[in-house]
Amino acid sequence: MSNTGKTSVDHEKAGAKLYVVPTPIGNLEDMTFRAIRILKIADLILAEDTRTSGFLLKHFEIKTPMQSHHKFNEHKTVETIVQRIKSGQTIALISDAGTPAISDPGFLVVRQCVENGIEVECLPGATAFVPALVASGLPNDRFCFEGFLPQKKGRQTKIHDLSTEKRTMIFYESPFRLVKTLTQLAEVFGAERRASVSREISKIFEETQRGTLAELQQYFTEHNPKGEIVLIVAGLEE
């Protein structure tokens, strides 16, 4: 008996839509088979940095044309992208690493597509905060993702607002500001608040340090941090 139903592959090849495609945050082996296939069948790839993404596409022999899409031009290019999808094209959105729109460009084009009735499909895949949260050893049944703290205006207010947060908190941080952030959090949250710092996730020099905010502040004062960093901080205990 023949099967006349369409497979998921047929469905993905047929429809014009926006695909949000995660890319590896370190090890290229973290790229999924499906992500590679979608990038190959798409009519266009929106890339945060075409030079960075060019190495990824070359490695997986993906020859789909790329167009630059980053925080400096996304407001200007969103409408054109929507019109291209409406005309029947399939467009894939990627960032330099991880899942687009998670502290990366992507939110604006996704919102515009949704508002215009365009189908948006986000593939599961690499993102830095999930492995950092799981590896921290801190409670992960309830958590809040805070991304990057404000660098100047509103920074202290934000930290004080979070001091009573009971869920585990997730932050992205620059290696150049990590010690400053740990120091400020220790001053407001208390030096004994438990925390974890993961850096270079999925890369050769991946490292996770766990301890109190004071212990981590001392450790990274003595050991200059490098690479992409995820900071996990325990919530306020009842």
Bridge partners for 221 per DSSP:
none
The pTM is what? Answer: 0.87
Residue positions counted in the chain = 238
CA 211 to chain centre: 25
Contact assessment for residue 143 and residue 169, using Cβ atoms and an 8 Å cutoff: yes
Q: What is the pLDDT along the chain (238 residues), one digit of tens a residue?
A: 444 444 455 445 546 999 999 999 999 999 999 999 999 999 999 999 999 999 999 999 999 999 999 878 878 889 999 999 999 999 999 999 999 998 888 999 999 999 999 999 999 999 999 999 999 999 999 999 999 999 989 999 999 999 999 999 999 999 999 999 999 999 999 999 999 999 999 999 999 999 999 999 999 999 999 999 999 999 999 7
CA angle 138, 142, 146 (to 5 degrees): 85
Encode 139-169: b = buried (16+ Cβ within 10 Å), e = exposed: eeeebebbeebeeeeeeeeebeebeebebbb
Domains identified in the chain and CATH numbers: 8-122 (3.40.1010.10), 129-233 (3.30.950.10)
